[in-house]
Every structure is written in structure tokens, then in C-alpha cells.
Copies of this chain bind each other. A is one copy, B any other.
């Protein structure tokens, strides 16, 4: 029964194998040992990368990995009806894989302490495997990806989760990664740089700034979540936690039936008139390439920069690549509310240029406040409620990073604010959803965007956790 194993693990803080008192010095030591230097380089000087003579697109010499291209976006009824922007093309479906195993009956996750060039603190906590298709089909000509075989059908394994999910629709064009959780009964040792942690420990680490990386958060969000099993193990839950537990239980119901939620998504996807057209990166209106950097003429939004990475430690590697560098810290927030004793979050179904299927369900608020000065629309709905929240309403408020392999120091403030639903009416793009409904949607691709998935992991981390 995977449900009860997940519940047990979610509440386990100390096991014979691991506790956080041991984890923190181990991680600090690794961070000290893993020498990494990321240096900005002009885009023209990136070894292995070239600027296409016709289009100005940035491509790897192998033709693989990813490229940076231009996109023309038309959203007929949107607040900004047309714009152009650089965007990352990465058509390959990679694997974000979490290997789990029972020790003394308790499920542990094999976590990797992983360096990425965009991380402002070097090392973050990543799933067991984080591999592009180029990684494991040999284009890198590097060493094999450790533990990959468990996600390719070898070993004695049981599949718990396997679903392709989108990534940042503002910066990626139709990118998907395969989020997998696999349980093994093999006697798998943790290699250097890897450690076993329970879900309860990961939940405590989610309270730490900039430690649990985006790939871990999205994989955790795709786990089936055992509301009933957790409730039976937490008889002393306070009123907020009890509402959160009920929210995770399919038996609990919700403001809207799932069919109504699907109808809401279908209506938005059917009526939005969105057209995205690939265009040469060189020709983008409002964007300039100057001194080896691509930036918007207002200085807002993001830059495309080049970096050279030197990573030391057990093995020395050096490489160069383009990255997206956002110009400011963003806010990614759910308004939450107890409705009939069941915690709901106010989700927004919104068009993003990189969506494969028009629009996905996202957070209540997802924005970079500094950008709104440069847009005709004014601040987004509910930003005021988030930024002006009484501290007593704030259930979660932690700075977390986006994927450090493509984004340079992309940090967002992840916030969950509890409000009174009666004073927070649903606009057409917004609906109150229970967590078990988000879990239903998360069994399928293209429904819940990466920012909302991170918030799902953060919200679940409030079950039985306190500050570490």
C-alpha cells in the first residue's frame, strides 16, 4: 500500500538511517568542497555555441541540448495583445526521477546534492536523476548518469509516479519533463554526493531558503497524496492542519465538482485565441543584442546572457552555455481559505506563450512586481492581498530558486496566504480548488503549471512540520 508508506514517510523526522542534525553538516561540507565558479561571458564567446548567421538564434554545435530562439505571441483578448520575446526551445523530454526505498519499513528518497550554474548558492537538493535525453543518449560524451537504470526499467522496481509536466511557460517553449518516482527493493547504496531522506525531512527542508530545488519540488508535487492515511496518523492536528488534511482526501468534496473544473479549463482553452509563431531571435521587436547580452529596451523582464562554468570537486568540468537571467525577484502565491472546513486554494487558469495546450492552472499570483511598471495592465489581481497580508495570515513564505541549469539566479518568493473566501470572489479566470483536485489533475500532463506544482509541494510540507 503506497498510500500508507507515503504517509509514514511524510511524518518521519528521525530514522535509524538519517536525521537532519546529520544532514546539515554533510551538506555544508559538500558545499565547501564543491568548488564552482560561474563567470559571465559575452554570447559570442561561448565555446561550443554559435549564433545562426541568418536568424541570430543561439544553438549548440551538436544541434542538440537546447536553443534560444524568438517567439511572436498574439493573445487576442489578453491585456497585452501582442508581443515578441526570446524563448528556450528544448523539445527533448528529460527525466526528473526520484528513487525511493524502504529502510526499517520507512520510505526514504535518494536525494542528490547538485551544483547548477544558475544557483546563487552553488549546491541545492535535487532528485536522484535530473537528465536530459542528450544526457543519457551520449551526446554529452560524459560519464553515465548515476541511478538512471532504475528509471529505464532495470532492477526490481515499482512505479509510483510517471507523468510529463510542463516547465516555465514564460521562458520555455512547450518544454516537458517526465516526473517519475520509482520504488526499488534492491540494496542500493547512496553514492558520494547522495543521501537518503524521508518525505518529512524534505518537508522541513522546504522551510529553508533556496535549498530544495525546483526539480525536487515538481516531482514531490506529482506524488499521490494520502489524505486519509495522514489524518489517521495525526489525531492532534490543529484546525489549519486538519483542513489541509481534509483537502488532501478525495472523500472530502470541494466547492466545485471536478467536472466543473474541467469545464472551466476547457472553456478558457477553447475561447482564448492564442497564436505563437517562431521568429528569428535577431528580429525581435523591443529586444537588443549588445555587448554579448540580449536585453529588453526597457531594461525589464529578463536578459539572455552567456556563462562559463568551472565545477570542481570529485571531477573537474568546464562548459559554457546561454542562460536566462530575470531582472528581479518574483512573487508566486496561493491565496488559501478554509471552506466548509476544507482548505482550498485560489487557482488561476492563464494563457502562457510556452503552453502546449493554450493555458494551464497556476498560482493565484505569479508575477515580477518590477515588470508591471513596463506593462499597460497594472498589477495583477490579488497581488495586493499577498504583499499586504497580515503576518498572522501567512502560512508559508520562503525564497526558492527556479531551475539552475537554464535560469541564472531566478529566485521567487513562494507565499501561501490564508484569506476569507467570502471576501475573495472568483473572477472568471479563478477557481477555488481542493488539493485532492490538484492531485487528480496532476496525474495528467498539461494541467498544472510548474509554479503551482512548487506551491503544492510547499503546502503539503506544512503537514506536521515545524521550523527545522
Give the complex CA separation of A267 and B162 in angstroms.
Answer: 9
The stretch from A52-60, A258-266, A298-306, A330-338 touching chain B is A258-266
A61 close to chain B: CB less than 8 A = no
Residue A339 interfacial (CB < 8 Å) = no
B-side contacts of A260, CB under 8 Å: 159
Provide the bound-state CA to CA distance between A267 and B164, in Å.
Answer: 10
Contact of A263 with B164 at beta-carbon distance under 8 Å, contacts A178-B270, A270-B178, A357-B356 already known: no
Residue of B whose beta carbon sits closest to that of A443: B262
* Cross-chain contact of A444 among B178, B267, B444 (Cβ < 8 A): B444
Q: How far is the CA of A11 from the CA of B444 in the complex (A)?
A: 34
Please state if A162 and B356 are interface contacts (CB–CB under 8 Å). Answer: no
In angstroms, Cα B274 to Cα A93, docked, is 12
Q: Does A18 contact B (CB under 8 A)?
A: no
Residue A41 interfacial (CB < 8 Å):
no
Q: Are A162 and B266 in contact (CB under 8 A)?
A: yes
A102 at the interface (CB under 8 A from B): no
- Is A90 positioned at the interface, with any CB of B under 8 Å from its CB? no
With contacts A159-B259, A259-B159, A444-B444 taken as known, whether A266 is within 8 angstroms of B164 at the C-beta atoms is yes
Minimal beta-carbon separation of A189 from chain B (angstroms): 27
Per-residue B-contact encoding for A269-284, CB less than 8 Å = 1, 0 else? 1100001000000000
B445 and A263 contacting across the interface, CB-CB below 8 Å: no
For residue A421, CB closer than 8 A to chain B, the reply is no
B444 x A270 contact (CB < 8 A):
no
Closest CB of chain B to A277's CB: distance in Å? 10
Q: Is the CB of B356 within 8 A of A266?
A: no
Q: How far is the CA of A275 from the CA of B64 in the complex (A)?
A: 14
Assembly stoichiometry (copies): 2
Docked Cα-Cα span, A188 to B385, in Å, equals 46
**A163 interfacial by beta-carbon distance below 8 Å:** yes
Interface residue tally for chain A (C-beta within 8 Å): 22
Decide: B163 and A262 in contact? CB cutoff 8 A. yes
Q: Mark A204-227, 1 if CB is under 8 A from B, else 0.
A: 000000000000000000000000
Of the residues B162, B269, B270, contact of A263 by C-beta under 8 Å: B162
Nearest-CB residue, chain B, relative to A162: B263
Instruction: Evaluate whether A263 and B159 lie within 8 angstroms (CB atoms) in the complex, with A164-B269, A164-B270, A270-B93 already known.
Output: yes
Q: Which residues in window 292-325 of A have CB below 8 A to B?
A: none
Alpha-carbon separation in the docked complex, A270 to B163 (Å): 10
CA distance in complex: A178, B265 (Å): 12
* Residue from the set A91, A443, A444 with the largest chain B CB neighbour count within 10 Å: A444
CA distance in complex: A263, B445 (Å) = 12
**Are B357 and A445 touching (Cβ within 8 A)?**
yes
Distance in angstroms from A263 CB to nearest chain B CB is 5
A259 CB contacts on chain B under 8 angstroms? 159, 162, 443
Across the two chains, which residue of chain B brings its CB closest to A179?
B266
Q: Which residues of B contact A270 (CB under 8 A)?
A: 93, 164, 178
Residues of B contacting A178 in the complex (Cβ-Cβ under 8 angstroms): 266, 270
Fill in one digit per residue for A160-175: 1 if any B CB lies within 8 Å of its CB, else 0.
Answer: 0011100000000000
Docked complex Cα distance between A270 and B356 (Å): 15
Interface 1/0 per residue, A239-270 and B, CB below 8 Å? 00000000000000000000110110011011
Q: How far is the CB of A276 from chain B (nearest CB, A)?
A: 11
Instruction: Determine the residue in chain B with the shortest Cβ distance to A274.
Output: B91
- Give the distance in Å from the alpha carbon of A178 to the alpha carbon of B445 in the complex: 19
Nearest opposing residue in chain B for A260, CB measure: B159
A269 CB contacts on chain B under 8 angstroms: 93, 164
**CB-CB < 8 A to A159: which residues of B?**
259-260, 263
Question: Closest CB of chain B to A138's CB: distance in Å?
Answer: 15
Q: List 12 A-B contacts (CB under 8 A).
A: A91-B275, A162-B259, A162-B262, A162-B266, A163-B262, A164-B269, A164-B270, A262-B443, A262-B444, A266-B445, A357-B446, A444-B444
Closest 7 A/B residue pairs (Cβ): A93-B270, A162-B263, A162-B266, A178-B270, A444-B444, A159-B263, A164-B266
